[in-house]
Amino acid sequence: MKVSFFPGCSLEGTAREYGESIEAVCKNLDIDLEELPDWNCCGASSAHCTNEFLSVALPARNLALAEESRQDLVTPCAACFSRLKTAEKALAEEKDIDLGVSFRGDINILHILELFCRDELTDHIEQQVTKPLAGLKTVCYYGCLLVRPPKIVAARHWEDPHTLDRLMTALGAESIHWPYKTECCGGSMVLTNTDIFHHLIGRILDMAIEAGAECIVTACPLCMANLDTREEELSEAKGTNYNLPVFYFTELMGLAFGDQDAGTWFNRHIVDPTPLLKAKGLL
C-alpha cells in the first residue's frame, strides 16, 4: 500500500518517538509512506486564531500537492488532520476566499489511526503481533480534534469513538471504557491559561486512574506533550503522585510487533514507562 504522507512539524522535535514508531510499524505492514514533496506548515495551532486566509491557504496548498500524486493523504497529527479537513471543507464549499490553488477532492484525507483501522489491515496487524500486550490496562485518549467538529472530520462516533480501543484489543491489551476519551487537554493553553490547562489535565489523569488504567494511549503529539510533561508539577500542586505513563499508539504497536527499537522510544518519555512494561513482562 502506498500513500502520501504529511508528517507535520512535530515529528522531528517533540514527537520524534512517534515518527520513528510510525516508520517501524509501516515497514512491518508493508505501507509505503511517500513524504509529500515541498510541504509547508498547516498553520496549527495559531493561524485559525489570527488570520482566516492563512488558516485555509496553508493546508490547502498541501492538499493541492497531494492531489497531484493521486494518492490518499495521511497525517499522524490530530491538529494537522483538523486543519487539512477544514481546508478541504472550505474548498468544497467554494468559500469567498481566493486561495490560488485548485483542488478537486479526488483524494481522501486520513489520520494515520484511520489508515491502520481500515478493514484490509485489521488481519494483517493481528498477524504481526509476536508479543501480545497481555495484562496491560489502557485507556484510549482521542482528544478533541480527531472527532470534532464531526461535520468537518466526518466522524461517525464523535462522542464515543472505538477505533483506538479496538486496535489496543487487537494488540492484546485491555482497553478500559471511560467517559473522558474525547475531553479537551487544554491544547496550546499551556502557555496562556495555565490554571485552566492544569484543571483540564488534572481531570483527565484523575479519571484515568479512577477507571483503573495503568497508562494512557493517544494519537496526538500535542495531547502527548501536555499529558506526559505536566504530571510532575500537577502531582506537586495537588499533593499526589500520578506517575501514569502515556504512549503513542504506534509505540505500543511496535512493542507488540517485537520491534527491537521500542526501548529507545520509551527513553524519551518524561514519565518513564519502562517499570510498568517490565512488570508486565513486555520489556
* CATH code for the domain of 170: 3.40.50.11810
Q: Write down the number of H helices and E strands in the chain.
A: 14, 8
Predicted local distance difference test score (pLDDT) of residue 94: 64
Structural domain contains residue 122? no
Cell of 200: 483540564
pLDDT digits (tens, 9 = 90+) for 61-101: 999 999 999 999 999 999 999 999 999 998 887 666 677 78
Average pLDDT over residues 15-30: 98
Give the range of the structural domain holding residue 10, as residue numbers without chain letter. 2-114
Q: Are residues 96 and 24 in the same domain?
A: yes
Q: Are residues 92 and 24 in the same domain?
A: yes
Q: Are residues 142 and 238 in the same domain?
A: yes
- pLDDT surpassing 70 at residue 184: yes
Q: Are residues 36 and 135 in the same domain?
A: no
- pLDDT surpassing 80 at residue 191: no
Q: Are residues 227 and 105 in the same domain?
A: no
Predicted local distance difference test score (pLDDT) of residue 140: 98
For the ranges 124-128, 158-162, 234-238, 250-254, the lowest mean pLDDT is seen at 234-238
- pLDDT surpassing 90 at residue 128: yes
Domain count of the chain? 2
Q: Are residues 213 and 92 in the same domain?
A: no
Predicted local distance difference test score (pLDDT) of residue 25: 98
Predicted local distance difference test score (pLDDT) of residue 95: 62
Q: Are residues 108 and 140 in the same domain?
A: no
- pLDDT surpassing 90 at residue 202: yes
Query: Which of 79, 114, 149 is the C-terminal boundary of a domain?
Result: 114
Q: What does the DSSP assignment read for 56-94? A: HHHHHHHHHHHHHHTS-EEES-HHHHHHHHHHHHHHHTT
Average pLDDT over residues 5-11: 96
Long-range contacts formed by 260-263: CB under 8 A, 24+ apart: 261/20, 261/24, 262/21
Label residue 193 by pLDDT band (50, 70, 90).
Answer: confident
Structural domain contains residue 178? yes
Q: Are residues 146 and 98 in the same domain?
A: no
d(CA 70, CA 35): 13
Predicted local distance difference test score (pLDDT) of residue 101: 82
- pLDDT surpassing 90 at residue 249: yes
Structural domain contains residue 33? yes
- Enter the pTM of the model: 0.96
Predicted local distance difference test score (pLDDT) of residue 196: 87
Q: Are residues 145 and 194 in the same domain?
A: yes
Query: Which of 85, 114, 143 is the C-terminal boundary of a domain?
Result: 114
Q: Are residues 63 and 154 in the same domain?
A: no
Query: Which of 84, 114, 144 is the C-terminal boundary of a domain?
Result: 114
d(CA 201, CA 223): 10
Structural domain contains residue 120? no
- pLDDT surpassing 90 at residue 197: no
Q: Looking at per-residue confidence, does 212 or 104 come out higher?
A: 212
Predicted local distance difference test score (pLDDT) of residue 51: 86
Average pLDDT over residues 232-245: 92
Q: Are residues 159 and 185 in the same domain?
A: yes
Average pLDDT over residues 218-226: 95
